[in-house]
Amino acid sequence: MMKKKTLAVADIYVPVKRRQTLDPKKVDTIAESMLAKGQETPILVREDGNRFVLVEGLHRLEACRALGEKTVFAYLVQARLY
């Protein structure tokens, strides 16, 4: 079962492989949507000690950062380590 939480953007670690897939145009589009409607879909993260690791939602997370948001809605999930 996934638990929905509000997390600090600064507490979310983005793995290097995930960062390489970032599309700035997509971030801008999502940021515009968030300004109009708010964050509709939470990101997915897993716990790793004292931090959270991004599983899904890189563009949504980066849109929050671009808008200057301090928090983001997220679901805590169980994900395998690779």
With respect to residue 81, please indicate whether it lies within any of the assigned structural domains.
no
Q: Domain count for the chain, please give it.
A: 1
Containing structural domain, residue 27: 3-76
Which residues have CB under 8 Å from 31's CB, separation 6+?
A: 63, 66, 67
11 within domain boundaries: yes
**Within-domain flag for 82:** no
Q: What is the DSSP string of 1-16?
A: --EEEEEEGGGEE--H
Nearest 10 degrees: CA dihedral of 49, 55, 56, 57?
Answer: 30
Reported confidence tier of residue 24, pLDDT bands at 50, 70, 90: very high
pTM of the model: 0.87
In a domain, 22, yes or no: yes
Q: Kindly state whether residue 15 falls inside one of the protein's structural domains.
A: yes
Query: Is pLDDT above 80 for 70?
Result: yes
Question: Which domain CATH number covers 56?
Answer: 3.90.1530.10
